[in-house]
Structure 1
Amino acid sequence: MEYRSLGNTGLSVSAISLGCEGFMGQTEEQVRDGIDFAIDKGINFIDIYSSNPDLRSNIGKALTGRREQFIIQGHLCTAWEDGQYLRTRDVEKAKTSFNDQLIQLNTDYLDVGMIHYIDAEQDFLEVFNGPVIRLALQLKKEGRIRHLGVISHNPVIARKIVETGLIDVLLFSINPCYDMQPASEDIEDLWADQNYAHALHNIDPDREKLYELCEQRGVGIDVMKVYGGGDLLSEINSPFGIAMTPAQCIEYALTRPGVAAVMIGCKNKEEIQAAVNWCSATKVEKDYASVMAGMEKFSWQGHCMYCGHCAPCSVGIDVASVNKYYNLTIAQNDIPETVREHYKVLTHHASECIACGQCETNCPFGVAIIEQMEKAAERFGY
């Protein structure tokens, strides 16, 4: 298993992590069996958004005796009413559900407490100017939430949330299809067929700016909907008309700036294993560019996708990393200290480019890499 720093939280999380939805409706024994299997595979991070008391209790029982080995990301502002999940902004309901959550999970704190979910401008204003954020910050002060986060599907609103400086973690939907969609306050737009009926080109700039901002600010991103609700794994259901593999979807998400982990909603051991197989997959097996390149309707022409097809560089430059760090400086209009240090420790730097053109020949997206290396060398000074 690969472990990554979750932004500036100090937490080291497994790159492959668990969403809780796969355990819905399962027995205590089934949940324990699944979590045992996940732990055996090196998974140490789980997101529990549901307020279902049976689910929470089953997960709590499965983690009894090994709580300190596991990083729990729970949610604030979910409630359980009339036998179903409810998103709420009623602070008393949120407080009651949070307290119940700790009891059900058999713990006295959450490693990450997520405000659940904020996609609309008015909701953002209500949460961050009202009692919900005050409750969240109080719980953090008390140590019952160690790190504060938010779940969102809207890159414009998520950016505003990050810019408040109050959150440490963002749970966000990332996959190649969603990344082409513009911001919307309606989550249904992300998978509406009509929104893929016309040609789409490159990552939506608001999404790209969000990922770069999180990288710059040290806000860790963990990813939901990495398979697009399963659609991307199906040739029939995928907007691309081509099936991707779990390893390709996971690799795509994990190569975006700021991303630490992907939350996979696995129902059984086979689905957990399919996700964990990313750890041992070959470069060819992880290659998402082979699916995305050459499409007429969807294209990423001239845009670095950090896919690594430019390798091997004849002088050993990690071109994808240089491009990523350079792009981060453009987004910031400055060179953040962390980006400068990441660039500094690269074995080879942009100034060593001999303009042989091998990388440009290899690139499936037609990126002007030699020009990018010249710009990066000028930007960083070497």
Structure 2
Amino acid sequence: MRYRVLPRGGEKIGEIGLGLGAVTPNSDMFKILSYALEKDINFFDLCGAYDFIYPHIKTTLAKNRSKVFTQMHLGAIYKNGAYAFSRNLNTVKDTFLRILDTTGLEYTDFGFLHCIDEEKDLNYVLEKGIFNLAEDLKRQGIIRHLGFSTHTPVIAEKLINLGMFDLFMFSINAAFDFKKGDYAIGDYAQRENLYRLAQSKEVAISAMKPFAGGQLLNAKLSPIGIALTPLQCISYVLERPAVITLVAGATKVSDIDDYMRYFTASPNELDYSVLGTAISQDAKGRCLYCNHCSPCPKKINVGLVNKYYDLSILGDPLAKEHYLNLEHHAGECNNCGHCDKRCPFKVEQIKKMHEISEYFGV
């Protein structure tokens, strides 16, 4: 396992976490959670499809409370044992506290405003008591960090700009980022700008739906027309700005083994540049920091140079200092064209290097 540090708080969170939404009544919940702990997974999203999971959390995660981080959702409820959600304040509060008691966790590291996808959802939770409930639970220490979940970039931006949240859950994968229409809310530019805004504001992302519900793993089902491997999907998500962990679902322990291969995989196995043959035209010409252009003959880290430039434009006051601390800068580009030829996303990197050099003045 590799870990990333939460910008606001300093907690070390594993790059691969576990979500419980895919678990079915036939899944061996105790075995899955125990095996995840054995593999050093320390981040768990507790919004499950069924409420039978919660007693198992008491016998696994709660016994390792100081070693794990949990995110719970204010709005996820259960009817007849199956997932539903509600905006009724009393129902939201009672369900949250009941689950906390059933799991024996005593507190949750992240308390989320659940599924804020539309303007009316945003206004309701902010004005009708649910956000106040979250703040009150935080004052009591029952919630350690405030967060939210959404599928809508515009809503995420508004919540980030309130300055009250440390983490949010957002659906990230190559299909959602590059395919317009029914597959995702927001076009490529909106979504990419959201990731960069979050990073500039030091608000981390726990990424959900890394495989687009499995569609990206099957060429016949894939919205982008090609199949990716699980490792390519994981690599893509973990290289998006602001992502601190990827929350993958597991119905059996072998799923966890598949995900953990990410940490021993070769660069070729993680290389997702095949996306360059499938992405829509409007997404081309934007650096995704994949560094498929490496190695630069002048030893410029082209991906990092682009990342710090993008963050600085968005107003991140630290980005320039990070750029200046790089060993090699954009101004060292000698126009050899190596990067332009190799970029799968058709970025004119020579032009970008001159633009970035002039911007930073180095």
Q: Tell me, yes or no, whether TM beats 0.5.
A: yes
Alpha-carbon deviation of 1:344? 3.1
Output aligned runs, 1:2-21, within 5 Å. Answer: 2-21=2-21
Aligned residues between the structures:
362
Aligned to 1:314: 297
- 1:368 counterpart = 2:352: no
Output aligned runs, 1:167-182, within 5 Å. Answer: 167-181=165-179
SS in 2 for 1:312: coil
Q: State whether residues 75 and 116 of structure 1, in contact with CA within 8 Å, keep that contact through their aligned partners in structure 2.
A: yes
- 1:329 counterpart = 2:309: no
Which of 227-236 and 240-249 deviates more?
A: 240-249
Q: CA RMSD in A?
A: 2.0
% same residue: 36
Aligned to 2:41: 43
Unaligned runs of 5+ in 2: none
Task: Give the counterpart letter for 2:67 in structure 1.
Answer: Q
Aligned to 2:257: 273
Task: Give the counterpart letter for 1:357 in structure 2.
Answer: G
Distance 1:51 1:141 in 2: 29
Alpha-carbon deviation of 1:92? 0.9
SS in 1 for 2:359: helix
Distance 1:296 1:101, change over 3 A: closer
Distance 1:296 1:379, change over 3 A: closer
Output aligned runs, 1:132-281, within 5 Å. Answer: 132-181=130-179, 189-190=182-183, 204-281=188-265
Alpha-carbon deviation of 1:298? 5.9
Task: Give the counterpart letter for 1:7 in structure 2.
Answer: P
Deviations 1:217-251 (A, max 9, x none): 11100100100000000111112222100111111
Output aligned runs, 1:74-89, within 5 Å. Answer: 74-89=72-87
Distance 1:305 1:337, change over 3 A: same
Distance 1:363 1:323, change over 3 A: same
Q: State whether residues 20 and 49 of structure 2, in contact with CA within 8 Å, keep that contact through their aligned partners in structure 1.
A: no
- 1:56 counterpart = 2:57: no
Task: Give the counterpart letter for 1:319 in structure 2.
Answer: V
Distance 1:319 1:71, change over 3 A: same
Q: State whether residues 6 and 221 of structure 1, in contact with CA within 8 Å, keep that contact through their aligned partners in structure 2.
A: no
SS in 1 for 2:131: helix
Distance 1:50 1:41 in 2: 21
Unaligned runs of 5+ in 1: 196-201
Q: State whether residues 22 and 48 of structure 2, in contact with CA within 8 Å, keep that contact through their aligned partners in structure 1.
A: no
Deviations 1:333-382 (A, max 9, x none): x4x23222332332322222222221112112221111211222222232
Distance 1:248 1:295 in 2: 14
Q: State whether residues 24 and 55 of structure 1, in contact with CA within 8 Å, keep that contact through their aligned partners in structure 2.
A: no
Task: Give the counterpart letter for 1:295 in structure 2.
Answer: A
SS in 1 for 2:174: coil
Q: Which of 325, 333, 354 is the matching residue for 2:334?
A: 354
Give TM-score scaled by structure 1 length: 0.89
Q: State whether residues 21 and 49 of structure 2, in contact with CA within 8 Å, keep that contact through their aligned partners in structure 1.
A: no
Q: Which of 335, 345, 348 is the matching residue for 2:325?
A: 345
Aligned to 1:68: 66
Alpha-carbon deviation of 1:86? 2.1
SS in 2 for 1:165: coil
SS in 1 for 2:93: helix
Alpha-carbon deviation of 1:157? 1.2
SS in 2 for 1:4: strand
Distance 1:164 1:250 in 2: 30
SS in 2 for 1:53: coil
